Amino acid sequence: MGDDTTMGPSVADGLKRVTRALPAGRDRPGQQAMAEAVASAIAEGRHLVVQAGTGTGKSLGYLVPAILARRRVLVATATKALQEQLIDHDIPLLERSLGVGFRAALLKGRSNYLCKAALADVEHQAAQGVLAAGAGFGDQPLTGERLDEVVSWAHRTISGDRSDAPSAIGDREWARLSVGVGECPGAGRCSFAEGCFAERARAEAAEADVVVVNTHLLGLDLASGGAVLPHHDVVVIDEAHAFEDIAADTLGLRLGPGRLDHVLGGVRSLFTADHPAATALARAADRLRTTLGDMAGERVDPRSEGLALVLLGCSEAVAEALVAARSLDLAGSTEAGSRRDRLVQLASGLLDDLRSIGELDDDEVAWVEDGQSPALRVAPVDVGDRLATRLFSSTPDGAAPATVILTSATLAVGGSFSSLVGRLGLDRTTVAWDGLDVGSPFDYPDQALLYCAAHLPDPRARDFEPAMLDEMESLMRAAGGRTLALFTSRRAMEAAARHLGDRVPFRVLVQDELSRPVLHRSFLEDETSVLLATMGFWQGFDAPGRTCSLVVIDRLPFSRPDDPLVEARRQAATRARKNAFAEVDLPRAAVLLAQGAGRLIRSSDDRGVVAVLDGRLATASYRWDLVRSLPPMRRTKDRDEAIGYLTALRDGASTGPPH
């Protein structure tokens, strides 16, 4: 690890060195307990589950002991914000203050890096005047000055990272300038391998002691049998409450007409636009697009006659393209050979996925994902067996697995880790695990009030929405704006936006009317503003200070009854003679509710109210599982008490909830 071979400090001393370097450095007992537990887990080869409440400083709680153990560490995060915090703040702090030399790297998926072979392909097509429609920046074609801009950047850039590109590039445009794992033929078969940005990033990560990735990339590595990420001794999965759904995504498959269109583009770059393989692909993509559009949002069986015939047509068209590409004699043509190799790789991967979809296992579920471009999704109903084998257990050759640290502010349900451990398969391995809740340094009983509007109608009743909106407006007025309103559906958010309209004397910000960074900045800069948002803002949104004195949650965040994956999980629980609601719906709702409520108190100076406008939090038989999953705020059902506290906060006359 680095060039420092001397014995480093103890974990306790290391934390002290780091915290002394912070502007407001102070000892945090929870952080110290977490760090000692991480050190023990690494030393003993045990896995660890750590719930570390907001303000614990959990990133230092796992980084310090992992670095001092001189182990190669992989840190996987679910959000870009946490990646940036680690790379831009936490790791540089450790490099300056820990007193131990180490190297760190950020590694992204291959498609985040410019592919020089793909750029050469675009240049070639532009020179021939056959560049496909849509290959541009926004509405501007990627030719002339715009193409020159990209080429110039490609010569200057060190990283080739999309985030460093000279202009904002849309997804469709970037797809022409990059390749995914399934399209890259590998460094050994690419004429541009020597200057490949993705390979350079992988090489730097292979030499690093700490590698930061997103959890999606970790999932792809598990799906590939370890072919994506460099070797590591310790895996830290931060924001682990989101890991089950990410694992289901990456261990499954996604097939949309866009994947056939991508193969079609490769065929047209090698042959004429009316080549039989191109015609067959275009026809298959159109038929798939129509079929999936008619099934949007539905759970499906890919083996059923109608869908099976469409998928068979896709397989035949892709196979035809693959045969044509492999039979092409391109001796002496380096660029065309590179395009052919990429097409072969892309078509082969798609053909494998089409075959897998047609052989759906009993433990998998398929559905058509709704959206602008419907796609067929296949996912394991239970990721636990696969994670137990690929992540938590010894390797087939008997080697010990990497030590896995699962951490988040919200992992326990009703005070227990059993739900998480069961869903992730940690209880299906012979490797031992420990669980620890280190709490939070915040004084929640003094800083926050949990208000349940128990007097409102049942959320399933017709008169709930107007009553809920009136209640929300009253709370916002008492707070003087300063509200983050979280909704369980887009429809409810839009209804609130219409209701508030010109009725409230402060700015109302609505998700998707501005970009997320602009919304975040506007909410922070305008203290009295109100932000209305859906599920994307329940997690990872940070707004400390008076600008967020009130978090309103419209109803308990239970999954839709017709969510295909959740429905399949319920059915699996029922077959196992378990209570589907308690096994599937309740744990998910508890974690989401805790995540949403966690947006309120972000620093030791914050004060405010979490208002849940769903009376079931006060009356349902399962209410204590939800309440015990929340931070230990003072609780009330008294509307006047909540209004009075918000008014006092607004007027600067309160330092804590009324007792």
Structural domains of the chain, ranges and CATH numbers in brackets = 14-103+209-248+383-439 (3.40.50.300), 110-200 (no CATH), 268-370 (1.20.58), 444-650 (3.40.50.300)
Q: Would the pTM count as exceeding 0.75?
A: yes
Q: Which tens digit of pLDDT belongs to each residue from 503-550?
A: 999 999 999 998 888 999 999 999 999 999 999 899 889 999 999 999
* Residue with more model confidence, 121 or 97: 97
Provide, rounded to the nearest whole percent, the portion of the chain with pLDDT above 70.
Answer: 93
Predicted pLDDT of residue 165: 84
Question: How far is residue 388 from each of residues 75, 159, 225, 286, 360, measured CA to CA in Å?
Answer: 19, 35, 13, 40, 21
What DSSP element (H or E) covers 286?
A: helix 276-294
Contact 319, 216 (CB under 8 A): no
Predicted pLDDT of residue 120: 84
* Residue with more model confidence, 478 or 341: 478
Kind of pairing between the strands at 550-553 and 634-636 = unpaired
404 in helix, strand or coil?
A: strand
The residue assigned the tokens 């690419």 is: 190
CB atoms within 10 A of CB 571: 14
Contact 134, 173 (CB under 8 A): yes
Grade residue 136 by pLDDT with cuts at 50, 70 and 90: very low
Taking each helix axis from N to C end, the angle separating 144-156 and 116-128, rounded to the nearest 10 degrees, works out to 160
- Whether the predicted pLDDT of 499 surpasses 90: yes
Measured CA to CA, the distance from residue 102 to residue 282 in angstroms comes to 51
Burial code of 371-395, b = ≥16 C-beta within 10 A, e = fewer? Answer: eeebbbbbbbbbbbebbbbbbbbee
Grade residue 299 by pLDDT with cuts at 50, 70 and 90: very high
Kind of pairing between the strands at 140-141 and 136-137 = antiparallel
Which tokens in the block code for residue 241? 């409450």
Kindly give, in sequence order, each residue whose CB lies less than 8 Å from that of residue 205, ignoring residues fewer than 6 positions away.
105, 107, 211, 229, 230
* Residue with more model confidence, 404 or 331: 404
Burial code of 177-202, b = ≥16 C-beta within 10 A, e = fewer? Answer: bbbbbbbbbeeeebebbeebbbbebb
- What's the mean pLDDT in 548-557? 98
Which tokens in the block code for residue 202? 């992988």
- What's the mean pLDDT in 548-564? 96
CB atoms within 10 A of CB 322: 20
- What's the mean pLDDT in 84-88? 93
Predicted pLDDT of residue 137: 37
What DSSP element (H or E) covers 439?
A: strand 433-439
Question: How far is residue 577 from each of residues 362, 566, 574, measured CA to CA in Å?
Answer: 18, 17, 5
Predicted pLDDT of residue 349: 93
CB atoms within 10 A of CB 5: 9
* Residue with more model confidence, 133 or 570: 570
- Whether the predicted pLDDT of 130 surpasses 70: no
Q: Which tens digit of pLDDT belongs to each residue from 20-73?
A: 888 776 778 999 999 999 999 999 999 999 999 999 999 999 999 999 999 999
Predicted pLDDT of residue 183: 80
Helices vs strands, H then E, count in the chain: 27, 20
| Closest residue by Cα to residue 600 from 514, 519, 537 | 537
Q: Which tens digit of pLDDT belongs to each residue from 446-458?
A: 999 999 999 999 9
* Residue with more model confidence, 210 or 272: 210
Predicted pLDDT of residue 187: 77
- What's the mean pLDDT in 235-257? 96
23 in helix, strand or coil?
A: coil
Grade residue 422 by pLDDT with cuts at 50, 70 and 90: very high
Measured CA to CA, the distance from residue 604 to residue 606 in angstroms comes to 6
User: Of the given ranges (63-67, 434-438, 560-564), which has the lowest mean pLDDT?
Assistant: 560-564
- Whether the predicted pLDDT of 614 surpasses 50: yes
- Whether the predicted pLDDT of 132 surpasses 70: no
User: Of the given ranges (260-269, 572-581, 590-599), which has the lowest mean pLDDT?
Assistant: 260-269
- Whether the predicted pLDDT of 650 surpasses 60: yes
- Whether the predicted pLDDT of 145 surpasses 90: no
Kind of pairing between the strands at 253-255 and 375-380 = antiparallel
Q: What is the mean pLDDT of the chain?
A: 91
- Whether the predicted pLDDT of 134 surpasses 50: no
Predicted pLDDT of residue 129: 64
